A and B are shown apart, each in its own frame.
Chain A
Amino acid sequence: AQSVAQPEDQVNVAEGNPLTVKCTYSVSGNPYLFWYVQYPNRGLQFLLKYITGDNLVKGSYGFEAEFNKSQTSFHLKKPSALVSDSALYFCAVRDLYSGAGSYQLTFGKGTKLSVIP
């Protein structure tokens, strides 16, 4: 079974400072990993994904994430936070070992990011 843990319910960071939102995962095989963002009264929006290749992936709005296989982590980062980055962030995983027929994503509980002006 696949699972995702986001250990922090909330992360507060000052505008202009770097931010990190943590995610660890558990899968039987090789993972596909994703970050989604949810703004108030808006649908979930895709930010970035790791499929294979370079461990550092870049996504929308200046976000990036680093895949670390040994630590089974996929932390979301941004060098300089903006107030507009304040939102709910979800990490998700798909386990390729589940077979070609399984397309379900397993999401973490989410981390609320607050960027303080």
Chain B
Amino acid sequence: DTGVSQNPRHKITKRGQNVTFRCDPISEHNRLYWYRQTLGQGPEFLTYFQNEAQLEKSRLLSDRFSAERPKGSFSTLEIQRTEQGDSAMYLCASSLADNTGELFFGEGSRLTVL
């Protein structure tokens, strides 16, 4: 399968713990995006990378959230000191370096904070 891959698919953690999600984009895509989706809502933009450079960050991305894409391939999203409000589906998407915005999404990583 050559689509966008996300791991783990589901993470249950206790409040205050740190969690990390991994995203492997489609190999020829140099743009990578993180979105968050809560029940009954559409995806909300979190951050965007072009190669290894993080070019945009949403105000939703508090200082407890950090994302990296060290070699311009896979990316990680870490949430420190998790809160119950962090419970959501975290979506990763990738795209080609064109200007048309067609994104290819992974199946998401669901976070449940108890």
Contact = CB atoms under 8 A, between A and B. Distances in A.
A49 B102 contact: yes
Contacts, number: 61
A14 interface: no
B104 interface: yes
Interface string A36-75: 1000011111100101000000000000000000000000
- Secondary structure of the B contact surface, majority rule: loop
- Chain B interface category by residue count: 20 to 34
Interface residues of A, number: 25
A105 interface: yes
B46 to A, nearest CB: 9
Interface of B: 3-4, 31, 33, 40-45, 48, 55-56, 58, 91, 93, 100-108
Interface of A: 4, 32, 34, 36, 41-46, 49, 51, 90, 92, 94, 101-110
